[in-house]
């Protein structure tokens, strides 16, 4: 329903694909082979949303991608995942699977500025390493939970909400980063 945006949603059958890939030759390149053909000619940007796991589907996505945005909930327990993903990116680069892959930045999400914990976590993200931390901060809002239930992006569902503005701001930051 959003003009200029195409969505290819996943479903439960995708888990079977991961099992099939395990025995395939060149399994890490399966998605790249599809995307780097017709899709790159059709779209200015291709966004691949990955589950918070480091399995073969995520590896396929990283091999196909030019850049990675790491969304991080502003909770201390989430820092471990950032380090693991950054390590995986380094391995993918180092093994020649995708030497051009780069971490574009860390995106703070589910931020609640009323808590000291969230403020401390935000400060800690900046000290995590040599990673860019996006200026955009996605705050915890009801609209973000409602939009998927309505089957719409938050920018359509609640176009004037803080969440919609945050994602517009993030899009501009990504464009500016190149």
User: Would you tell me how many other CB atoms lie within 10 Å of the CB of residue 87?
Assistant: 11
- DSSP notation for the chain: --TT-------TTHHHHHHHHTTSTTGGGHHHHHIIIIIHHH-S-------SS-SHHHHHHHHH-SEEEEEEESSGGGHHHHHHHHHHHHHHHHTTS-TT-EEEEEEEESB-TTSHHHHHHHHHHHTSSS--B-S---B--HHHHHHHHHTS-HHHHTTTSHHHHHHHHHHHHHHHH-
E strands, 16-78, are 67-73
Q: How many residues does the chain have?
A: 178
Distance of CA 49 to the CA centre of its chain: 5
- Per-residue pLDDT of 64-97, as tens digits, reads 999 999 999 887 667 778 889 999 999 999 999 9
pLDDT of residue 133: 93
What is the rounded CA–CA span in Å between residue 160 and residue 89? Answer: 35
User: What's the pLDDT tens digit per position in 8-42?
Assistant: 888 888 878 887 888 888 889 988 988 887 887 88
Specify the DSSP class assigned to residue 4: T
Query: What pLDDT is stored for residue 76 in this prediction?
Result: 67
Task: Report pLDDT for 151.
Answer: 85
- The pair of structure tokens assigned to 175 is 């464009």
Predicted pLDDT at 14:
82
Summarize pLDDT for 129-176 with one digit per residue, the tens.
788 999 999 998 899 889 989 988 899 999 999 999 999 999 999 999
- Assess whether pLDDT exceeds 80 at residue 99: yes
DSSP-based helix, strand, coil % in the chain, nearest 5: 50, 10, 40
């Amino acid at each position: 329903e959003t003009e200029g945006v195409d969505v290819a949603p996943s479903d439960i059958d995708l888990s079977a694909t991961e099992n099939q890939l395990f025995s395939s030759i060149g399994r890490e390149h399966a998605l790249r082979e599809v995307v780097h053909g017709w899709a790159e000619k059709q779209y200015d940007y291709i966004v691949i949303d990955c589950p918070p796991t480091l399995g073969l589907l995520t590896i396929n996505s990283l091999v196909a991608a030019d850049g990675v945005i790491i969304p991080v909930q502003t909770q201390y327990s989430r820092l471990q995942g950032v380090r693991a993903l950054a390590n995986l990116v380094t391995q993918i680069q180092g093994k020649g699977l995708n030497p051009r892959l780069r971490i574009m930045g860390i995106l703070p999400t589910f931020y609640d500025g009323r808590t000291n914990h969230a403020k401390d976590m935000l400060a800690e993200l900046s000290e995590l390493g040599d990673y860019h931390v996006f200026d955009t901060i996605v705050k915890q809002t009801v609209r973000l939970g409602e939009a998927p239930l309505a089957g719409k992006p938050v920018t359509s569902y609640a176009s004037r909400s803080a969440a919609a503005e945050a994602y517009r701001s993030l899009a501009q930051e990504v464009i500016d980063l190149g």
